[in-house]
């Protein structure tokens, strides 16, 4: 067992001043794995025993379960009913976890996760400032990505409109180009579009998931999670690796998203969208909150409009991309306008996906003939022609005597700023 000798024996924990930080961190990781032990219960135990190592030592001691269950039951001078955050059942679960501490820690390490506790300097300072921050964060990727100089959350519905996805991509890409980190929830829809656009813009993004790392949801975003980590970002959770995401874990996830951020931007949200929970958390945590308005007859915008109506004195409207970047204090208005123009093309490319995206990038980079496009992408002639037909149909490419040029939103990007064309 960690910090309490070997299984079947009990040793007194070292004084806190002389205890290795890794030992205390491991103890907190073990305690966090106990199902039912939330922030209130763990806080009560830490208040009573002084450290995670001491809690595990108490759990392994004779009558440890009974003693743990006494936590918070002391009489209170104000005469109110005493708290009882640790039930006998929960106390037994803590004792059981103590007995399998080595296996719990081995599982965390096998998944390549780092653990950071709220007591450590690496813990993100914005999140530490909220009420009841997670005691432990399980991090895959760069811990430093959680505490950048500037960070903005971009969230929204899992079922966005075509326009909503494009707006989310433009906003996230612009924020990234302005030098800020983008935080979102790795969900389908707006969240995924925000992460993808940030990566395409060469920025850093952090994904906060609603379950454990071994239960990543949705499964279809596993590759996106890999890309986030590979590009210097992070995927994090306050839940232990094997915890399944549930309807109750996502509101907890949302408070972490807003807590990590200076501001939260909601792109599209129907009346009961979880993104509105993130917006509410942002206001409660004293952070800025921006919402993209939409048509009064569009269900995808109903939640944003209602939230703006009810919180008009606190929540702010997104009236335009340059205005948003200016309001966020990321860049001045002139620079914001230039970033917004290039972000429009980036959002369009992200939305195309696949072969059409690669051909679109090549057009923006200045390759104009079918032969040039075949050479730079390595794609067959038939595939290139099919992609050009698709782009022409959307007004994103124009043919003039066998030479193609970008159209529509793609024409807004200068060739010198064009994203790199990647061959297969």
- At 1 the pLDDT is 45
Residue 177: which residues within 8 A CB-CB, separation 6 or more?
201, 202, 203, 339, 342, 343
In this prediction, residue 323 carries a pLDDT of: 93
Q: Supply the pLDDT for residue 411.
A: 64
- Give the tens place of pLDDT for each residue, 61-92: 999 899 998 887 654 444 444 456 789 999 99
- Average pLDDT of the residues of the chain: 87
Q: What's residue 198's pLDDT?
A: 92
pLDDT given at position 352: 78
Structure token digits, residue 11? 């040793």
Mean pLDDT along residues 388-408: 85
Quote the CA–CA distance of 19 and 306 in Å, as a whole number.
Answer: 52
pLDDT tens-digit profile of 150-179? 999 999 999 998 788 888 988 999 999 999
Give the pLDDT of residue 10.
33
Q: Is the pLDDT of residue 272 over 70?
A: yes
Out of 3.30.450.40, 3.90.980.10, 1.20.120.330, 1.10.10.10, which CATH number does the structure's domain 353-417 have?
A: 1.10.10.10
Q: Where does residue 38 rank: exposed (0-12), middle (13-18), buried (19+ CB within 10 A)?
A: middle
Q: Where are the beta strands (DSSP E) in 231-372?
A: 234-237, 263-266, 288-291, 316-317
| Residue 320 in tokens | 């335009």
CA triple 205-209-215, angle to 5 deg = 130
- Tell me: pLDDT of 8 over 90: no
Other beta carbons within 10 Å of 320: 13
Tell me which H or E stretch contains 396.
none
pLDDT in the model for residue 292: 97
Report the predicted TM-score, pTM, of the whole model to 2 decimal places: 0.79
Rounded-to-integer distance, Cα 99 and Cα 19, Å: 21
For CA atoms 411, 415, 420, 421, the dihedral sign is positive
Structure tokens at 96: 């059981």
Helix 370-377 to helix 354-364 angle (10° resolution) is 110
Residues 62, 64, 65, 71, CA torsion sign: positive
Partners of 208 in the beta sheet? 236
What are the pLDDT digits (tens) for 116-136? 999 999 999 999 999 989 999
Please state which of the four CATH numbers 2.40.280.10, 3.40.50.11540, 3.40.50.450, 3.30.465.10 is assigned to the domain occupying 140-334. Answer: 3.40.50.450
pLDDT at 423 over 80: no
The residues spanned by each domain of the chain are 1-110, 140-334, 353-417
């Amino acid at each position: 067992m960690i910090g309490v000798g070997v299984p079947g024996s009990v040793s007194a924990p070292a004084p806190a001043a002389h205890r290795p930080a890794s030992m205390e961190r491991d103890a907190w990781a073990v305690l966090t794995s106990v199902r039912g032990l939330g922030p209130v219960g763990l806080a009560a135990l830490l208040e009573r025993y002084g450290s995670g190592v001491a809690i595990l030592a108490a759990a392994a001691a004779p009558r440890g379960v009974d003693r743990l269950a006494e936590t918070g039951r002391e009489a209170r001078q104000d005469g109110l009913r005493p708290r009882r955050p640790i039930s006998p059942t929960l106390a037994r679960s803590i004792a059981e976890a103590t007995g399998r501490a080595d296996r719990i820690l081995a599982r965390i390490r096998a998944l390549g996760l780092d653990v950071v506790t709220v007591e450590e300097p690496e813990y993100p300072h914005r999140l530490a400032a909220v009420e009841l921050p997670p005691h432990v964060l399980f991090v895959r990727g760069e811990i430093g990505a959680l505490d950048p100089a500037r960070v903005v959350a971009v969230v929204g519905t899992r079922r966005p409109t075509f326009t909503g996805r494009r707006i989310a991509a433009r906003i996230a890409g612009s924020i990234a180009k302005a030098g800020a980190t983008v935080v979102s929830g790795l969900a389908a829809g707006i969240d995924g579009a925000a992460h993808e656009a940030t990566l395409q813009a060469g920025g850093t993004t952090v994904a906060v998931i609603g379950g454990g790392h071994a239960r990543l949801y949705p499964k279809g975003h596993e590759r996106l999670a890999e890309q986030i980590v590979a590009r210097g970002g992070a995927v994090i959770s306050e839940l232990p690796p094997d915890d399944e995401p549930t309807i109750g874990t996502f509101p907890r996830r949302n408070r972490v998203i807003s807590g990590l951020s200076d501001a939260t931007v909601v792109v599209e949200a129907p009346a009961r969208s979880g993104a509105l929970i993130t917006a509410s958390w942002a206001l409660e945590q004293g952070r800025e909150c921006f919402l993209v308005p939409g048509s009064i007859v569009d269900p995808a915008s109903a939640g944003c409009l209602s939230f703006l109506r009810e919180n008009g004195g606190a929540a702010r409207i997104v009236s335009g991309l340059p205005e948003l970047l200016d309001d966020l204090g990321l860049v001045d208005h002139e620079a914001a306008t230039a970033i917004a123009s290039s972000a429009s093309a980036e959002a369009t490319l992200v939305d195309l996906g696949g072969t059409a995206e690669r051909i679109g990038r090549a057009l923006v980079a200045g390759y104009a003939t079918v032969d040039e496009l075949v050479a730079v992408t390595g794609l067959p002639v038939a595939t290139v022609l099919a992609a050009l037909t698709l782009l022409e149909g959307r007004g994103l490419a124009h043919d003039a005597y066998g030479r193609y040029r970008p159209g529509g939103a793609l024409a807004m990007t200068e060739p010198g700023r064009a994203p790199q064309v990647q061959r297969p």
